[in-house]
Chain A
């Protein structure tokens, strides 16, 4: 693929991701919002494929689009999803202040990114699953064990928290 095809694909995926992220905030029903989140993650997975990080793209689809979306759908169905609005919304001042703060942060970040002077790199790095595995079990083996313990703790914690209290 030449450079223009890359940029066109990137722009399409970026627009899909941003529109879906905005729809997460704008839609009325909670189920539609969760569906929109899944599409946003799908677009980001496509972006990873474009950046030649295929393994991360597959993991993104499996974990985010597959597992987390289902988890959120269950969490939504077990709580009050029928109640769309909660009566009076947050105060207008609160929303306005949040918008101003986040907008300022975004402005500073974009200014910093555009003014960045990185040395150019013309070779695109292709990360294979084998290289990730070698690095993960070589340099980062202690972090890998810690991640395993974290998952075990999260599993037990989620079961203990969500289970009914015994009489």
Chain B
């Protein structure tokens, strides 16, 4: 059995890689991909506690299903927004989307 600290450390590392990507990349598709990476690392934590945690039970896997549903819906709406943005502004560079900047 894998010690739970190793699995949690993997989740933390993946989360931080995704967060760094969201903060620094300029291509908006890559920003969405990094958000998916972050949600996935949350899933790793939930499944780890559900499987080898101190009070292992099924609830973590049920919540993982909800998170996967949420991630799919978010990716669909996000890509639709990107396509509309590209049609209207001819660019999906994150820096150029400054219409609401004060």
Binding site for B on A (CB under 8 A): 3, 6-7, 10, 14, 17-18, 21-22, 24-25, 30, 33-34, 37, 40-41, 44, 47-48, 50-53, 55-56, 59-60, 63-64, 67-68, 71-72, 74-76, 78-80, 86, 89-90, 94-95, 98-99, 101-103, 105-106, 109-110, 113-114, 116, 118-125, 127, 131-132, 135-136, 140, 143, 147, 150-151, 153-155, 157-159, 161-162, 164
Contact = CB atoms under 8 A, between A and B. Distances in A.
Given A33-B33, A86-B26, A118-B53, A47 B68 contact: no
Contacts of B19: 102, 105
A7 B68 contact: no
A17 B2 contact: no
B23 A102 contact: yes
> Which size bracket describes the interface of B in this complex?
35 or more
A162 B44 contact: no
B74 to A, nearest CB: 8
Interface of B: 1-2, 4-10, 12-21, 23-27, 29-30, 32-34, 36-37, 40, 43-44, 47-48, 50-59, 61-62, 64-66, 68-77, 79-84, 86-87, 91-93, 95
Contact of B2 (A6, A33, A120): A6
